[in-house]
Every structure is written in structure tokens, then in C-alpha cells.
Amino acid sequence: MSSISLVQKRPFNSQRFWRQNGRLIAVYGLVVIMALIGVFFTERFLSERNLFNLLRQTAFLGVVALGQMLVVLTAGIDLSIGSLVRVSVLVSAILMSGDSNNTLPAILITLLLGAGIGFVHALLINRLNISPFIVTLASFVILRGVALTISTAPIGKASRETLLFYDQRVGPFSILFLLFVILIVTLIFVLRRTIFGRYVYAVGGNQEVARLAGIPVQRVRYGVYILCSLLASVCGLMWLSRMGVGDPVIADGLELTTITAVIIGGTSLFGGRGGVMGTIGGVLVLALLANLMVLLNVQQQYQGLIEGIVIVSSIALYNQDTH
């Protein structure tokens, strides 16, 4: 995000402010508008239960959207997220099989599996020079097949702790939501204040310039793809805690939803531009949209239409200020 201001005080320049923050303002403006619609046109929007659920829902999409964003910032893409979430929930449910003693090993193995898949993605892109789109498309198909092979019906069982975790609260907030917030803060810090973060933007900004500047382009790629797949496995574990079983039909099309959130949040698909706050804005827009359509009893067949309109108009809105 180019909006960080680390330089000494300088006079406020409204034009620059708009140019640098226009996208963020646009997306959060949309969030506010949708929240207002919820407040004035529905009865249950402000209920404690709805808000609690809404925030918890954002964590599910948010975790994977942030992973996708990291990859997209390097001018890559990860199409395998949905399939990997599915495989993760099945694997962890089977490994746990309702036994508390298995909780920790099952979680660790699942995370290791995710990291390993991310590693393979980066390996193929780095070594064989195959485009990320193709590598992760293949991975999407393979992992979906793996999930179908494992089971077509719910399988395995979460341990008691895992199940209880889902409804755990800290103060008024869901623990899942709070962990999500910690992830957000960490990623903002990593992207803005660490060398790895700078390198992510540099690789996405221009790979050749980065290479000639001595940046370890391949290592950066390992980093983002491993993180992205790791977060997909985390999302799988969250699903396990929610459903209690390994459900083979979850997360259908999730990879596209993450890409949508990333785009709405102003991150460029060509890499090098964008950031965490924008992506979170994109996640909020999509989560609110889903929530409102339920509360407003919008018929299923119109939901896709409305979602499409929101995507196009949110992007049209701030594409104007880039001309």
C-alpha cells in the first residue's frame, strides 16, 4: 500500500490523499453503504447474534483471501485454494476421528500438508517456469479429485476441543474473529516493515528489475505460495471446527471468491500494487452482501446477478480516478 506515510510532516495535499487512498475509500465507502442498508432495511442486522456471526464469517473468507492476496501481489495466482480447503477438512477430520489425543497431531499434519502443497506450487513455477495459473489450475483439479477419492459423504469427526473452539468467545468477539484480526495485523506488519514484505512488492512490480537488483525472486515465491496454501489449510481446520465432520462439499468455488475479494480491494492482478486493508475491505463487502441477501430474503436466482453487479460497479467506481 502506498498510503503509508513515514516521511516527516508535510502539508496536507488533498489531491494526493485521494490519489493514494481513493481505492480504500471507495471500498470502505461501499462497506458503510451496505451496513446502512442493513441497519435501515432489515430488522435483524444489528442483532448481537447476526453481528457475531457476520464477523465470524469474514474470518473464513478473510484467511484465504489474504493468502491469495500475497500471491497476487507477486503477480501470481492460486486457483487451488478451494480444493485444498476441502482436502484439509477431510484429512484433519479423518486423522482426528473424534479423539482428543489426536487433536494436535492432526492439526500439525494438516498444516504441513498445506505448506507442502504450496512448496510444490512454487517449485514447479520456479524450476519448470510454468505459469502460476497453469500450475495451480492443475493442482485445483488434482486436489478436487483427491477429495472425491477420500469420500463423497461426510467422513471423520472433530475432537471435542475442536468443536468447542468454534463457539469460544473472548469478550463479545468470536475467538476465530480475533485470531483473524491478529493475522491481519501481522500481515500488515510483514508487508510494510520487513524485507520479505518489500521483496513481495518488488517481485510483483517487475520480476526482471527485481532479479537484476539481486532480490531472491525464487525464495520470495516459495514464501508466498507456502503461506497461501498454509492459510488454505487453516481455513480447512476452521471448517472442521464448524461442521464437526469432514464435509466434502464445502468451499466450492472459494478460490474465485478470494480473487474477487482481492480485486474489489484494489490489489492489481498484475502484481506489485495493493495491500491488506483493501483486501479486508473486499472481504467485508462480500460477507456483507451475503448476509444482506439472506436477511432481505433475496431469491437464490438473483443473488449471483446482484453479486456480479456489485463487483463490476465497485471496480468501475475507482477505476475512474486512475485515468
Partner 1 sequence: MNQPDTILDMGRISKAYAGVPALREVSFSCERGKVHALVGENGAGKSTLIKILGGAVQADSGEIRFKGRLFTHLTPRLSLDMGISIIYQELALNPYLTVAENIFLGREPNRAGVIQTRHLRQQAAELLGKLHVQIDPDAPVSELTVAKQQMVEIAKALSRNADLIVMDEPSAILVGEELEQLFKTIQSLVAHGVTIVYISHRLDEVFQIADTITVLKDGAVVGSRPREGLSHRELVQMMVGRSLEEVYPAPIGQRGEPVLVVDKISNARLKNISFTLHAGETLGIAGMVGSGRTELARAIFGADPISSGTITIKGRLVNHASPAHAIRNGMALVPEDRKAQGLFTALPIRQNITLPILNRLTRNGVLQSKRETQVVEDARHKLSISMANADQEAQFLSGGNQQKVVLAKWLETRPSVILMDEPTRGIDIGAKFEIYQLMRHLNEQGVAILMISSELPEVLGMSDRILVMRDGQLVGELPRETATEQAIIERATSGVEVS
Write out the residues near partner 1 by the rule CB under 8 A: 2, 4-8, 10, 15-16, 19-20, 192-195, 198, 201-202, 205-206, 208-216, 268, 272-273
By C-alpha distance, which of 236, 246, 230 is closest to 113? 230
Looking at the Cβ atoms of 49 and 127, the one nearer to partner 1 is 127
Minimum CB separation of residue 273 from partner 1 in Å reads: 6
Q: Which three cell numbers stand for residue 239?
A: 471448517
User: Measured from the CB of residue 232, what is the shortest distance to partner 1 in angstroms?
Assistant: 25
Whichever of 15 and 101 has its CB closer to partner 1, that residue is 15
The helix (H) or strand (E) run that includes residue 170 is strand 169-170
Closest distance to partner 1 from the beta carbon of 143 (Å)? 33
Nearest-approach distance from CB 121 to partner 1, in angstroms: 22
Cβ within 8 Å of residue 83, ≥6 positions away: 139, 140, 141, 142, 143, 144, 146, 147, 251, 255
Measured from the CB atom, the residue of 21 and 151 that comes closer to partner 1 is 21
Element (H, E) at 2: none
Q: What is the DSSP code (8-state) at residue 102?
A: G
Question: With contact defined as beta carbons under 8 Å apart, do 86 and 250 qualify?
Answer: yes
Nearest of 236, 250, 252 to residue 109 by alpha carbon:
236
Which residue, 158 or 200, is less far from partner 1 as judged by CB?
200
Q: Are 156 and 96 in contact (CB under 8 A)?
A: yes
Question: Minimum distance from CB of 182 to partner 1 (Å)?
Answer: 17
Report the residue number, 17 or 302, with the smaller CB distance to partner 1. 17
Q: Minimum Å distance from CB 70 to partner 1?
A: 16
Closest distance between partner 1 and the C-beta of residue 202, in Å?
A: 6
- List the Cα angle 282/166/285 in 5-degree steps: 10
Residue 271 contacts residue 75 (beta carbons within 8 Å): yes
Tell me the C-alpha distance between 259 and 267, whole Å: 10
Contact 209, 199 (CB under 8 A): no
53 versus 206: smaller Cβ distance to partner 1: 206
Instruction: For residue 176, give the 3-state DSSP assignment.
Output: helix
Nearer to partner 1, 126 or 268 (CB): 268
